[in-house]
């Protein structure tokens, strides 16, 4: 069976979008002309493949098959600066990202929401896993390019989309796109979820997105669940004494033309103010609440205390449109 050829980088030249499939020497940086356009969210899409690498060390279904098929290790190794560095990072980043994935499910369960719109789904398997339950309706969304790759990838892996599972192209800055995706719920309450998206959005984009989400959630009594609220203070604590992470962040900035640390909220007060002013009430809950297993700790023989030191300060927010 042929391997799906996944774009490593998308490049904009003379206002035309070109796919670049990586170079002999690693990941090619984008030119300044591309940055001017700022319709460049598709540069963020390759990071979905980075996350897919760390997820392979978990018990999340399909993660190993996905990672193998797209050579996630190759993408991740280039970004991290080699296999050895990547291995060191995996020992704590894999459990951290496992917690990020599983804390969403834990909150959806707690809140009793079975209708879910996932933003920026990348190549994460959640939609395929959750729709095993017939009472679930799951709408997978992302930017057009990666959403097409997602469809092709799962088809190639022989993982069937079920009748309660939909795909819809959504740029979170477009209210039209979001309204289109919410139609699958036929007026019933639904939850919007995402992970790994906010770090790539500048404040004005986060504002536009929050306004759009408020518009679609308010009339349908929905909730908004995300583990993505992060502060500059937290990033600095993570980076401190961790040169491999500094390198990884720099490589991610090179590919995405976005700086995760600059994009973060100043502190918790700033984040709370931001979402309250956007019209949401906020429930702040811990990433790890003991309701799920962190399987990658055992698989990677990770230092549990080190991992928990990273996970403990993180929160998953459950918000409601006031």
Ligand X SMILES: C[S@@+](CC[C@H](N)C(=O)[O-])C[C@H]1O[C@@H](n2cnc3c(N)ncnc32)[C@H](O)[C@@H]1O
* Minimum CB distance to ligand X, residue 143 (Å): 5
* Minimum CB distance to ligand X, residue 126 (Å): 8
* Minimum CB distance to ligand X, residue 50 (Å): 7
For residue 62, the 8-state DSSP code is T
* Minimum CB distance to ligand X, residue 269 (Å): 26
Q: Which of 232, 287, 233, 239 is nearest to 261 (CA)?
A: 232
What does 124-159 look like in DSSP terms, one character per residue? --HHHHHTTSTT-EEEEEE-HHHHHHHHHHHHHTT-
Q: Report how far Cα 155 is from the mean position of its chain's Cα atoms.
A: 21
* Minimum CB distance to ligand X, residue 305 (Å): 25
Judged by beta carbon, residue 197 or residue 251, the one nearer ligand X is: 197
Judged by beta carbon, residue 51 or residue 94, the one nearer ligand X is: 51
CA–CA gap between residue 256 and residue 9 (Å, rounded): 9
Greatest Cα pair distance, the chain, in angstroms, is: 52
Q: Closest residue (Cβ) to ligand X?
A: 122
Give me the residues that bind ligand X (CB under 6 A), please. Answer: 41, 44-45, 47-48, 51, 119-122, 124, 142-143, 146, 170-173, 195-197, 200
Judged by beta carbon, residue 159 or residue 272, the one nearer ligand X is: 159
On whether the CB atoms of residues 146 and 174 are closer than 8 A, the answer is no
Judged by beta carbon, residue 68 or residue 272, the one nearer ligand X is: 68
CA distances from 216 to 188, 268, 321 (A): 12, 25, 9
Judged by beta carbon, residue 144 or residue 298, the one nearer ligand X is: 144
């Amino acid at each position: 069976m042929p391997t799906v050829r996944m774009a490593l980088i998308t490049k904009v030249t003379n206002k035309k979008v070109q796919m670049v499939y990586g170079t002999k020497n690693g990941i090619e940086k984008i030119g300044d002309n591309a940055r001017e356009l700022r319709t460049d969210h598709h540069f963020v899409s390759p990071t979905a493949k980075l996350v897919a690498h760390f997820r392979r060390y978990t018990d999340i279904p399909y993660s190993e098959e996905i990672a193998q098929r797209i050579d996630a290790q190759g993408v991740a190794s280039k970004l991290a600066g080699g296999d050895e560095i990547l291995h060191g990072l995996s020992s704590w980043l894999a459990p951290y990202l496992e917690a990020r994935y599983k804390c969403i499910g834990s909150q959806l369960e707690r809140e009793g929401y079975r209708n879910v719109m996932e933003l920026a789904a990348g190549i994460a398997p959640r939609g395929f896993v959750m729709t095993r339950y017939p009472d679930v309706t799951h709408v997978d969304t992302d930017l057009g390019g990666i959403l097409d790759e997602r469809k092709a990838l799962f088809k190639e892996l022989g993982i069937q989309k079920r009748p309660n599972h939909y795909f819809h192209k959504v740029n979170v800055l477009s209210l039209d796109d979001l309204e289109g995706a919410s139609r699958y719920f036929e007026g019933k309450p639904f939850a919007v979820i995402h992970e790994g998206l906010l770090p790539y959005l500048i404040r004005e984009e986060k504002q536009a997105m929050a306004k759009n989400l408020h518009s679609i959630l308010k009339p349908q009594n929905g909730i908004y669940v995300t583990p993505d609220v992060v502060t500059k203070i937290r990033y600095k604590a993570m980076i401190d004494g961790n040169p491999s992470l500094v390198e990884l962040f720099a490589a991610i900035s090179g590919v995405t033309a976005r700086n995760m640390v600059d994009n973060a909220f100043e502190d918790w007060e700033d984040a709370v103010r931001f979402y309250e002013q956007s019209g949401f009430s906020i429930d702040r809950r811990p990433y790890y609440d003991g309701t799920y297993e962190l399987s990658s700790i055992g698989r990677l023989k990770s230092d549990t205390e080190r991992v928990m030191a990273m996970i403990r300060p993180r929160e998953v927010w459950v918000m409601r449109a006031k």
